[in-house]
Amino acid sequence: MFAKIVEISLGAILINNFIFSQFLGCCPFLGCSNKVDTATGMGLAVVFVMGLASAICWVIYTYILVPLNLAFLNTLAFILVIAALVQFVEMFLKKSVPSLYSALGIYLPLITTNCAVLGVVLLNVQNKYNFIESVVYGITGGIGFMLAIVLFASVRERTEFSDYPECFNGFAICLVSAALVALAFMGFSGMKIM
Amino acid sequence: MNRKQQFREGLITNNPVLVQQIGMCATMAITTTLFNGIGMGLSVLIILTCCNVVVAALRKIIPEEIRLAIFVVVIAGFVTIVDLLLQAFIPALSESLGVFIPLIVVNCIIIGRAEAFCQKNTVKDSFFDGIFQGLGYTCVLIIMCVFRELVGSGRFGGGLIDITNGFRFTLDGTGGGIQIFPADYGMGIMNLPFGGFLTLGLLIGLMQYALKKGEKKKKLEERAAKEAAAMKEVEE
């Protein structure tokens, strides 16, 4: 059990990193990586929501959708759960932990359309993880996302001062530098635990 | 509304991936074979067109405050339909696209078009907008697939074309494609995530270059026309 959890965590953080090897969550990854501070905020919000969404969606899938033979409606159910969850978390944080709420700011509502969150709950179902494994996969997947976005934000802060062709302004140069960061993460690919 | 202009916008001047720069996750992830690219492009085209029509038809009765929730439900419904159809009729495609078919729900292209276009336009305009934007997306996918496949493994049309027993299209994803140069000479790295990021980055750069050049040319022409008009006035 413990070995399996270690395997899932290392896999989600390094080997099958959500951004650099599965391409999940690229939009916020490129959109919110201007500064290291905002990237950290976004990363924290994603870790939080991904962990929570994995837990709730697992319960809903196993105890509601499967017994009712509605498993084919999982995409629809999950996206509604995530949207409601994000809204709920936003209200809860605003009331009880205003400091965290103001730190996360606009990133919280944006998470609804982050495909890493929907991706992780769909992958939980696809990989047939149990409850603990799902939650671990959700949280470590979020940590992998955070690692990627913080690393990339520091790379991107540097590209601002570098001299590249004018037509590469904006997303184009980001994607090219992301390719180089992905190259670094390729070093982990194919690694096996035990 | 002018169809020709809409067509131009969808394919070039307002291309969803290259100019609006949305919906990039799937674009980078699945463009490894032509089979995947065309399959994904057409799925998005169909879903986008259906959602556009429904949202445009309902635009007067959707309350402003909960419109996003309604859009998401409409999109998720159509995505589920397409997902099940693919599982039933083209299982190979459904398997190789994997989680990216259900993830069309959070693809920004569809919700973006619903928000930016269908809310303010008629059903007919929205229908054509869906088709043209979907075509623009499909074209980008095809360009990326062809480039990555060729550079990565020296092939064209993997999964879709089979030439072992004469030329034919394979819809079950088994075709080996046309080998243009031996696979050993290809840069295998282009088939990996690195290639996805790099190809899309270069493509967006190229597009920005082309659009800027077009603008410059237009400005120069305008200036020339103005000068000519001024000269005429002076002559008169």
Q: How far is A98 from chain B (nearest CA, A)?
A: 24
- When mean pLDDT is compared across A18-22, B56-60, B155-159, B214-218, the lowest value belongs to B155-159
The residues with which B179 forms a beta bridge, in sequence order, are B155
Contact at 8 Å (CB) between A77 and B80? Answer: no
pLDDT at residue number B8: 86
- In chain A, which residues have their Cβ closer than 8 Å to the Cβ of B189? 183, 186
Structurally, how many domains does chain B consist of?
1
Tokens of B191: 């088939």
User: CA dihedral in degrees (B26, B65, A74, B171; nearest 10)?
Assistant: -40
Comparing CA positions, the residue from B149, B26, B192 lying closest to residue A184 is: B192
Give A16-27 pLDDT, tens digit per residue. Answer: 888 888 888 887
CA distance A29 to A39: 8
The DSSP symbol for B90 reads -
In sign, the C-alpha dihedral spanning A132, A136, A12, A194 is: negative
Q: Judge: A175–B99 Cβ closer than 8 Å, yes or no.
A: no
In chain A, DSSP assigns E strands to none
pTM as predicted: 0.87
Give A169-187 pLDDT, tens digit per residue. Answer: 888 888 899 999 888 888 8
Q: Judge: B194–A72 Cβ closer than 8 Å, yes or no.
A: no
Cβ partners under 8 Å of residue B133, min gap 6:
B10, B16, B48, B109, B113
Comparing CA positions, the residue from A142, A158, A187 lying closest to residue A44 is: A142
Q: How far is B126 from chain A (nearest CA, A)?
A: 23
CA distance A117 to A135: 12
Q: Phi first, then psi: what are they for A179, rounded to 5°?
A: -60, -40
Contact at 8 Å (CB) between B72 and A82? Answer: no
Q: How far is A152 from chain B (nearest CA, A)?
A: 13
Q: Judge: A20–B111 Cβ closer than 8 Å, yes or no.
A: no
Residue-level length of chain A? 194
Give A62-113 pLDDT, tens digit per residue. Answer: 999 999 988 888 888 998 888 888 888 888 888 888 887 787 777 777 787 7
Partner A contacted by B111 (CB < 8 A): yes
- Domain range for residue B219? 3-235
